[in-house]
Structure 1
Amino acid sequence: MKKFSIILPVRNGGEYVKECVKSILSQTINEFDLLILDNNSTDGTSEWLNTLKNDCIKIYHANESLSIEDNWKRVVNIPKNKFITLIGHDDLLDENYLKEMDSLINSYPDATLYQSHFRFINAAGAEVKKCRGMKAKYNSAEYLDAILTHSLDTMGTGYMMRSTDYDKLGGIPSYPNLLFADHELWISLTGLNYMAVSEKECFSYRLNQSVSKRSGASKYIDAFFRFLDFLSTLENKDERLREIIKKHSPDYIQFYCTSLTHRLLKTPVNQREGKAVASFILNCKQKADTLSPENHFQPLDQFSVRLSKLIDNNPILQRFYLLFKKVYKKSFYS
């Protein structure tokens, strides 16, 4: 049995998925299978995948179009090797990725999550910037602290874990559009023991039209609140985590309250699934009070949040704002 499974969920991967597969097949060690979960692609991806002739490749075509959550949920139900990693279809592995992960596992055999440093690339594949520096090891408290203080670049690609741990946790949780889902998964896996990190750069993460950028305000808000509910469960399990959540959750909620208030304001009312700026702000305050009693979180202290609430509460101002954004966007891109 091989040691690694590289798992690639994809729908309409275009040219990017070809680059991704090429990077995977260029690994300097061959102890791996490539498991591709094709989500009923309609752009020729399915047909191209069927032309691949390599014994390490196993393709699982969906019988119908699935949501991104349901396609990734299939990972739990397919045969996997001892260690697995997930990769976005537009990301790229360096040829030494598996070799470095193998070395990391041998150096830290009791770790439950592994990662390396990486670089961000643009749509054309040119390097944009390096990821932030990481420590050699993170326990669950340190990792959670890094997430809540935005001091760690954490993506879906690059992480290595045992397939038994992944399956035991139920796989990646089905958050709307998988937003914040990787946060919960990596926190949970780190909580089983700790995460070990290689100082080497071993993959490229593409800054493209990501799911987070394409997702509507309503799904983003639903996913955000689900993650905050997950933090509540952590508070009940571990005193160390409770103190970190109590300390950092107000500023974390403030960050997303501000950005999602603006996203919601830019969304036409008929696409909001009943959400309004005022109620969203109130819900953020309630979540903050639950996670961190006696906190300093006052969302309306931010001028942009107050202004968004004022505009959203007035149908005339709201329509004028949307019209202004539409005209401004057209003139900007013309």
Structure 2
Amino acid sequence: MPEASIITPVFNSSKFLEETIASVLNQTFTDWEWMITDDKSTDNSVEIIQKINDSRIQLILSDKNGGAGHARNLSLKQASGRFITFLDADDFWEPNFLEEMISFMKKDNTELAYSNYARCDENLNPVIDDFKADKPVTFDNLLKTCRLSLLSSMYDSQRVGKEYFPEGSKREDHVMWLNLLKKIPVGKPLPKTMAKYRMHQSSISRKKSNIVKDQYLVYKDYMNFSTVKSLYYTANWALNGFKKYSKLFN
């Protein structure tokens, strides 16, 4: 079994896919498998992946366009590595990402860890300050703001099992992390910047007003909170989200 499994959903990602692939192939830590699920792309994403001659990469073809959560779940089902981590098809890792994260998790005996990441434009130029991994993450504080980004986080499936994504939610990553943190006491921060997140102009994550209802449903439907409690956490999440990206609006 490989030490690490990388999970990537792909949908019409040809514009940045080759750069993302290069960032994985350039990792200093080499004992990994990469489970890439194509979510019925209509561009040449599949052809780009098929050109790679590396036995560690497994391409999975979804039989429907089910969204990123569905594609990640298909990859997770076939993943066999101990350490699970995620990389979207337009994001980027520095060469030391896997080595530093796995070393940190083993040294600190932690089930979950996350690092800083750079917040960049489409050309990977910094837009605002790096997001800082500066505090431990618990279930309680993750309710108010999602500090865990898929591209800079990792968990130990040998100790906590695999955690799948709810396929009916547009906030599937937040629900997944909350469910994971029901099992473990804390996720630990590694304050090093080893990943780059592309902040597209049309990114749904930047349009907070469009997803307030979806965030409310994280608490109401998936955490089974009362209406009042769900509204309370939605308000906290919205306020913290504005603070997180406030420099974009100055």
What TM-score results when the alignment is normalised by the length of structure 1? 0.62
Q: Deviations over 1:172-231 (max 9, x none)?
A: 12243x32x2222222323322101111111011101324458995xx355223212157
User: Is 2:248 the counterpart of 1:249?
Assistant: no
**Counterpart Cα distance in 2 of 1:26 and 1:119:** 18
SS across alignment from 1:43:
coil
2:195 to 183, 192, 203: 203
> Where does 1:1-334 land on structure 2 (aligned, <5 Å)?
1-109=1-109, 111-135=110-134, 137-141=136-140, 143-144=141-142, 147-148=143-144, 150=145, 153-163=147-157, 165=160, 167=162, 169=163, 171-176=164-169, 178-179=170-171, 181-191=172-182, 192-208=184-200, 209-212=202-205, 217=210, 220=211, 223-229=214-220, 233=224, 249=233, 251-252=235-236
Uncovered stretches (5+) of structure 1, i.e. residues with no partner: 236-244, 257-334
Query: Does the 8 A contact of 2:27 with 2:96 survive in 1?
Result: yes
- Residue 10 of structure 1 contacts residue 37 of structure 1 at CA under 8 Å; is this kept in 2? yes
How much does 1:35 deviate?
1.1
Kindly provide the amino acid, as one letter, of the partner of residue 236 in structure 2: Y
The code of the aligned residue for 2:23 comes to S
Q: Is there any run of 5+ residues in structure 2 with no aligned partner, and where?
A: 241-250
Q: Which has the higher contact order (CA 8 A, sep 6+)?
A: 2
* Distance change (3 Å), C-alpha of 1:246 and 1:38: closer
Task: Write the letter of the residue equivalent to 2:121.
Answer: N
Are residues 140 and 41 of structure 1, via their aligned partners in 2, closer, same or farther at CA, if it must alter by over 3 Å? Answer: same
CA gap 1:214/1:18 in 2 versus in 1, 3 angstroms: farther
Give how far 1:166 is off. Answer: 5.2
1:330 matched residue in structure 2: none
SS of corresponding position for 1:5: strand
The root-mean-square deviation of aligned C-alpha atoms, in Å, is: 3.0
Shift of 1:72: 2.6
Structure 2 distance, partners of 1:154, 1:84, is 14
SS where residue 188 of structure 1 aligns?
A: helix
What one-letter code is carried by the residue in structure 2 that aligns with 1:7? Answer: I
SS, match of residue 150 in structure 2:
coil
CA contact (8 A) 2:105 2:113 kept: yes
Rounded Cα–Cα distance in structure 2 between residues aligned with 1:250 and 1:216: 11
1:104–1:196 contact (8 Å) kept in structure 2: no
1:273-322 residue CA offsets vs partner (Å, 9 max, x unmatched): xxxxxxxxxxxxxxxxxxxxxxxxxxxxxxxxxxxxxxxxxxxxxxxxxx
Counterpart Cα distance in 2 of 1:246 and 1:174: 20
Aligned length: 236
Question: Is residue 118–residue 130 contact of structure 1 (8 Å, CA) maintained in 2?
Answer: no
Contact 1:120 1:207 in 2 (8 A): yes
Aligned residue number for residue 245 of structure 2: none
Q: 2:12·2:43 contact (CA, 8 Å) conserved in 1?
A: yes
Give the TM-score, by structure 2 length. 0.81
CA–CA distance in 1 between the matches of 2:111 and 2:103?
15
- Over the matched positions of the two proteins, sequence identity in percent amounts to 19
Q: Which structure carries more helix by proportion?
A: 1
- Classify the secondary structure of the residue corresponding to 1:138: coil
Query: 1:172, 1:15 → 2: CA distance?
Result: 26
**Offset at 1:115?**
0.6
Q: Secondary structure at the match of 1:131?
A: strand
Q: Please say which structure displays the higher CA radius of gyration.
A: 1
Higher strand share: 2
Match of 2:243 in 1: none
Q: Secondary structure at the match of 1:15?
A: helix
> Secondary structure of the residue that 1:157 maps to in structure 2?
helix
- Write the distance in 1 (CA, Å) between the matches of 2:116 and 2:238: 28
